[in-house]
Chains A and B, each alone.
Chain A
């Protein structure tokens, strides 16, 4: 099964969860998602999602200057983002439970 299709629906949730854990810049968020096991997410999808969550008011953004490399734009979660994260987390858990029960009965039968 193509998990990228599944991921599309929950990428917002995954990104919110990662940023809620700790502020991060674009590729940093990609790396942490991968480290968490979400391997098949496209870099550009993560950057686009960050941008969209930011413009919808769920994230804050600030630039961290760097002496060595380029300046990086960091994203952090705010109150609205936390509320969104909680609501989506609840939705996901309900959905996952439903799917789990459904799939379980399928397997048992």
Chain B
């Protein structure tokens, strides 16, 4: 037999598969027995110059595969296929049909040059599948029994034992050590198919449940369920606004050197950006210590007509006094003036010395400075 063109081999494989399909009602063993060498015989006949109709295609030389199968069957002294019975048989034996389809597909793939290394790689990966199959079986078992929440790996000794047993069974079967007798092999085949089907749902469920678990654990750590009490929030980006002692403040109160309250003070940072305590443009409500109702703030307007939120103390009014404007914005009704929220104290401590360099030049400072 000489080297064949790849397309010829493909044709031969397809033809042989069609012949086998026509014989499927005979059962796998008889079909294999009848068609053991079919590909080789077909290929050799195609190659033989003395063969009738040499040089023509498979169909020209051998006729339709169904006719070929019928001839084979008749010559072997086997009953011709009754189409009706065959239909029923094909439908009633999807396992054999699938297996045959798989064999046919494999035969076609093996005719491709790139397939050999891929198949070798996949074969090398088979033990991985055995373990995965065992794990899927374990997960499905735990899920059905409902004993524990699904996780990637068990947490209890008993569950570890079940997992080990499942992996042991799967690997031993994969190695061909157990479950090889015909009477039980269908159980193993069924198990394999179930593992393939269940792999994805089990992975999704486990992933989902592990995720939930992590969330619950996180909130436990964070003090939910009456745990530690303090909830710590970690954020990648700093909160915008002004924070004092870890707490965001809503308003700033400014006192001068003598400790007198100042109003309408504009505050900027070192880069000239307005320092804002609120970013809600007046939508939110703020509670003050010992206040009886929440307040909302209003902005000041600068000479150019722009809203300024960095003018302190922010003014506002109890939220109940606000109404909604036509554009849905919360506004104070005309006639109601914004007022300054309660000051924390009427007067702050005065500074020890006026921050005026000219005073020092006049010689007052040395006397005011306490000598250590």
Contact = CB atoms under 8 A, between A and B. Distances in A.
A47 B45 CA distance: 13
B153 interface: no
Interface SS, A side: helix
B288 to A, nearest CB: 92
A70 B76 contact: no
Interface stretch (B35-43, B128-136, B205-213, B320-328): B35-43
A47 B52 contact: no
Interface stretch (B65-73, B90-98, B138-146, B347-355): B65-73
Interface string A25-61: 1110011001100011011111111011001000000
Nearest to A49: B75
Contacts of A34: 50-51
Contacts of A40: 52
Given A27-B44, A39-B52, A45 B37 contact: no
Interface string B140-156: 00000000000000000
Interface residues of A, number: 26
Interface in A10-30: 11, 25-27, 30
Nearest to B1: A69
Interface string A55-97: 1000000000000111011000000000000000000000000
B11 to A, nearest CB: 16
A18 to B, nearest CB: 15
B44 A51 contact: no
Given A27-B44, A43-B62, 20 more contacts: A26-B37, A26-B41, A27-B37, A27-B40, A31-B50, A39-B52, A40-B52, A43-B41, A43-B45, A44-B68, A44-B69, A44-B71, A48-B72, A48-B75, A51-B75, A68-B1, A70-B39, A70-B40, A72-B40, A73-B36
